[in-house]
Structure 1
Amino acid sequence: MQSQEVGHPLLDNGLRETHGVNAANALMRELSITYEGDSLRIGNAIQENMTTFDSAFERSIAPTLEALGFVRSNDYFRLDGQLQQFRDKTGATFSARPDWHHVELDLYVETKSGTLNCKTTVKTAASAEARARRDCSLRGQPFGTYHMLQNQFSHSRYKQAAVQSALTPQNMIVVFAERVPYATMIAYAKVGLVAIHLDALPQYLQYIRFARRGLPVQWNLPYPEESATFVL
């Protein structure tokens, strides 16, 4: 297997941003950093399958999900080997990439740290994001995480509901870091989205295990303070 001096985008780009291209290449040579396929070699040590995360939140919950048997998903949903296309309510198509995959149960998980926005279509989200970026630029402010959560279609309840509708909640579930307020859960349910919180995920996995075996089981997410239960 042939080694090359540069090749891992995160490490290469990070070094180049902080040191410049020439200095970065020199530093990589000094540290004996090379690549063999997807593996990183530093001297004689090899680190396999470097996991990347989209946010600090995703990195923080990784140990919990890995302990439950999930692995990081770095590919988009596919159907018969082809990139799977989903549709918003206007018929516009989009693709989607889950955060985690439970290989044994073939269950995908999308993790979220905050309330999903109400952008209904790919177009309305793109327009809202463009306006937000323009406003940030005029104010001399960065377009940060807050603006992404408020405007991007990837953080829309309608997008997640469309994906889940095509795949079913037994194959793709949205998991929030904290328990979702009851009123918000009602709002999600009204657009067809089934969601749970991280602490409920182990029990949800048990439900999926029984369902995969064809047993007649149901999933209950109780809200005792509201004398209510969400049933799947």
Structure 2
Amino acid sequence: MKKVLTIAGSDCSGGAGIQADLKTIMAHKCYGMSVITALTAQNTTGVYGIENCSADFVKNQMDCVFTDIFPDAVKIGMVSSIEIIKAIAEKLREYNPKNIVIDPVMVSTSGNKLLKDDAINTLLNKLIPLAAVITPNLSEAEILCGFEINSKEDMHRAARKISKNYHGHILIKGGHLEEDANDLLFFDGKIHWFEEKKINNSNTHGTGCTLSSAIASNLALGYSVRESIQNSKDYITGALKENLNLGRGNGPLDHCYRM
């Protein structure tokens, strides 16, 4: 049994965050564990409250996991304060796990920044360098590269710019481009496109959380980075095609459609 740890915030409505991650990990037949960084009051219509865990409690959770059931991969999502970011980075350096996937959650679906600039700088300098793969969406990639992204050429230019400060695999998700849902993987100066047609489904709550935890699960199972991303995109496509329709707003995916 391969083990996957998710370090992220909780979504009480079950569509994103820790809940989406654990469903995804189970769907990949891995054993899921969680370190919760924050509690959120949210549903398909929006986020209505956030309560952060203390940095010490985050470290306590990580110690409990790593000293007992050591993970084969780690996915990191919502980290909402400098202290929490530093705590996670400290423990990752201490335990040195493999296959770290970071979904740099910096911008909400509505386009609002979720992290202050000083916290973003800490994320960039302390946590992201530890990752094997980062999975920014277009808005997050714009923060990382410093310019707007409106085309595939812009995505390539952004990846080159980001790679000057980060030397792991960069997956820029192009789902917000109008014409398709193609993603760009950049590593060691080389690019690879994962091509996918847009699926006519407005219920996309938690897709970023789901993709990153699927990639971590595939890495834990022994697939290469490129294979892990392709497998994860196939999984997301299937979950979207099920057309699950829950809630009054932007609803969740059917994470367990294969079961």
Question: Same fold per TM (> 0.5)?
Answer: no
TM-score (norm 1): 0.28
Q: Which has the higher contact order (CA 8 A, sep 6+)?
A: 2
Structure number with greater Rg is: 1
